[in-house]
């Protein structure tokens, strides 16, 4: 992974999040994936971003106790201002915003981070049993990277 990142054309790390909601986790994941597909279909996204790889991660917010599903992506291509990407994401998600877009400075560190997401999209040990069951059921049969 680090070799690909090093050889990539202007790699950037992007984190796409959704507004917190009390909807069931499975619905939130379905919406997140659908919104991500819609973003990638947009002409203004496709003409700027030439490729990439994405990873799914989920956490439970310590502040409000709600699920926090999000996508981390390493993308290649032209410069894409955070404001522009955030506007596109907000349009397809009806109000959510991009939490991060930054140039990759340390390919090995980013590769290690995303490898962790690929092998463990969420941490079950820290969750109460009901939440752990909901996470397992919501992730069953789903792609967690692509």
What pLDDT, in 10s, does the model give residues 65-95? 999 999 999 999 998 899 999 999 999 999 9
How many angstroms separate the CA atoms of 34 and 26, rounded?
12
* Residue 9 predicted with pLDDT over 90: no
Within a domain: 65: yes
- pTM as predicted: 0.93
Within a domain: 21: yes
Is beta strand 98-103 parallel, antiparallel or unpaired with respect to 12-17?
antiparallel
Within a domain: 145: no
Domain holding 133: CATH number? 3.30.70.1380
Within a domain: 76: yes
Order of all β-strands in the sheet with 12-17: 49-60, 67-77, 12-17, 98-103
DSSP type of residue 78: S
Residues near 3 by Cβ (< 8 Å), separated by ≥ 6? none
Within a domain: 146: no
Query: What is the number of domains present in the chain?
Result: 1
pLDDT at 120: 83
Within a domain: 56: yes
Q: Tell me which residue range forms the domain holding 117.
A: 2-139
């Amino acid at each position: 992974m680090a070799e690909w990142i090093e050889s990539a054309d202007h790699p950037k790390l992007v984190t796409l999040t959704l507004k917190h909601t009390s909807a069931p986790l499975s619905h939130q994941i379905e919406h997140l994936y659908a919104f991500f597909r819609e973003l990638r279909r947009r002409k203004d996204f496709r003409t700027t971003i030439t490729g990439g790889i994405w990873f799914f991660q989920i956490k439970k917010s310590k502040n409000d106790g709600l699920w926090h599903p999000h996508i981390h992506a390493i993308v290649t291509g032209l410069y894409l201002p955070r404001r522009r990407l955030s506007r596109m994401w907000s349009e397809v998600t009806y109000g959510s915003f991009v939490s991060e877009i930054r140039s990759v400075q340390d390919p090995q560190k980013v590769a290690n981070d995303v490898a962790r997401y690929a092998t463990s999209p969420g941490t079950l040990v820290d969750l109460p049993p009901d939440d752990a069951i909901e996470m397992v059921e919501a992730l069953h049969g789903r792609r967690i990277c692509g």
